[in-house]
Structure 1
């Protein structure tokens, strides 16, 4: 009986962290490589040029005002209360101006702008929604889809489905520094019931806070912008204390998840939640006028 001594390629071995999106991208890449004829040999200069990362151009500017709300977790809330009513005496943190790469990721940028410019009466806006998780020294998350009365986002029904989430080219930029704006896919909406909703849209986003890069977010989330102004506000948000479970609680949670206990996922929903309510108090687009022409010489 003959045995093959050819080693199995490492890239084909199963990996515990593979997601459905990773498998889809892998299948697309493999199918394409098998169906196309061998590529012609490229010169070293051409190969180097093709390996260079894309050069994103800022096409749009969005502002977001962040505030602290002292009353959101008070026990005397009524059913009609929401962020706009509970946080009328909030403390402003400051304004963050974001530059978006509309030429590189048109669908992602268009959807993000729609969520910033939508009418507040439809609840389809980032305005008056929570920063729901902060990972100290790394990034914070905002725009979780769910119930507006809980400070979450309800995307409009006509928001386009983001086909860029399964396009490998969309993952070319990295989370290499503080102030990177990214569409959150790896952490996006822990509740599976939300994800399986036909009206589900990818609207949750993250902003890296530094001080260092976040390479573990690369190839899992779509970088579509950068912080142009207000990095001090981002740093202030990152410094807000969060709920951190003890190591013993984490171990019990892992054990419960291993045995299929659904309560483990519910318990993790409050991990890294800020202990002081921070939210997006306003957002919109900044129109930048064209610079004046230089005077003509006689």
Structure 2
């Protein structure tokens, strides 16, 4: 059979039909996009309203304090490393004295010369053999604060009953010692290495002259380094 050529009018009609079909498809695509945007907007509004309506848990601190800016004392010993946060914000004079001694190298090579299990470990006053250090640091006035002698608290030792006689010797509590609160200048707390503190506190001891609770084998303080938090 022979094919019949399209008339000019038929070609125009076909062109208009295709043009209308194209516009219809474009309209449907735009409509779909608008619907999707609307659904996303509705979902966000509902989610935001639910988030704002959640009641804070009274058992959770919803406004935690800012990170501490207190520096850290890294005490390297022959039995391990102890890291202590120094409460510079509460005990500025006492921590400044300790930091100055540490940074000068004063504590390098000294020992923990007095240790008592379930009480404390004390150092910063003698070399091995209970030999005094080459220099004698100045005594500092007692600094009062609300820092308690809890497990791991670091505090200044003193001479006799004088609160103003602390200089370089310090002790770290092995267990809470509330009877020391207000009597000794507590100035920080162990943040890691309590296993080292307990190990030192439990070493065998003996008496040497006028000194009791002296470790039979020296527990050395290799160095104390002050670092940022």
**TM-score strictly above 0.5:** yes
Partner of 1:250: none
Seen in structure 2, the aligned counterparts of structure 1 residues 274 and 150 have a Cα distance that, compared at 3 Å, is: closer
TM-align CA RMSD = 2.8
Q: 1:1-298, aligned counterparts within 5 Å? A: 59-67=70-78, 93-119=79-105, 125-144=106-125, 150-155=130-135, 162-163=140-141, 165=142, 167=143, 170-176=144-150, 178-185=151-158, 188=159, 202-210=167-175, 213-243=176-206, 267=209, 269-288=210-229
- Distance in 2, Cα, partners of 1:243 & 1:149: 13
Seen in structure 2, the aligned counterparts of structure 1 residues 216 and 102 have a Cα distance that, compared at 3 Å, is: same
Seen in structure 2, the aligned counterparts of structure 1 residues 155 and 238 have a Cα distance that, compared at 3 Å, is: same
Which secondary structure state, in structure 2, belongs to the residue aligned with residue 132 of structure 1?
Answer: strand
* Number of equivalences: 160
- Distance in 2, Cα, partners of 1:233 & 1:154: 27
Whose strand proportion is higher, 1 or 2? 2
Q: Where do 5+ consecutive residues of structure 1 fail to align?
A: 1-56, 68-92, 120-124, 245-265, 289-298
- Distance in 2, Cα, partners of 1:171 & 1:155: 29
- Distance in 2, Cα, partners of 1:151 & 1:117: 21
- Distance in 2, Cα, partners of 1:220 & 1:173: 11
- Distance in 2, Cα, partners of 1:58 & 1:209: 26
Partner of 2:28: none
Which secondary structure state, in structure 1, belongs to the residue aligned with residue 211 of structure 2?
Answer: coil
**Structure-2-length-normalised TM-score:** 0.61
- Alignment deviations for residues 190-249 of structure 1 (CA, whole Å, 9 cap, x no partner): 6xxxx9xxxx86111000112xx21222221111000011111111101101126xxxxx
- Alignment deviations for residues 120-171 of structure 1 (CA, whole Å, 9 cap, x no partner): xxxxx11100101011211011012x678845445576x6x523x1x5xx14
- Distance in 2, Cα, partners of 1:148 & 1:233: 19
- Distance in 1, Cα, partners of 2:136 & 2:190: 26
Query: Which runs of structure 1 show a deviation greater than 4 angstroms over 4 or more consecutive aligned residues?
Result: 146-151, 154-157
Q: Where do 5+ consecutive residues of structure 2 fail to align?
A: 1-67
- Distance in 2, Cα, partners of 1:151 & 1:58: 36
- Distance in 2, Cα, partners of 1:203 & 1:102: 17
Partner of 2:15: none
- Distance in 2, Cα, partners of 1:235 & 1:174: 19
**Structure-1-length-normalised TM-score:** 0.48
Verify the 8 A CA contact 1:155 1:203 in the aligned structure 2.
Answer: no
Return the index of the structure with the highest Cα Rg.
Answer: 2
Which secondary structure state, in structure 2, belongs to the residue aligned with residue 108 of structure 1?
Answer: helix
Seen in structure 2, the aligned counterparts of structure 1 residues 111 and 153 have a Cα distance that, compared at 3 Å, is: farther
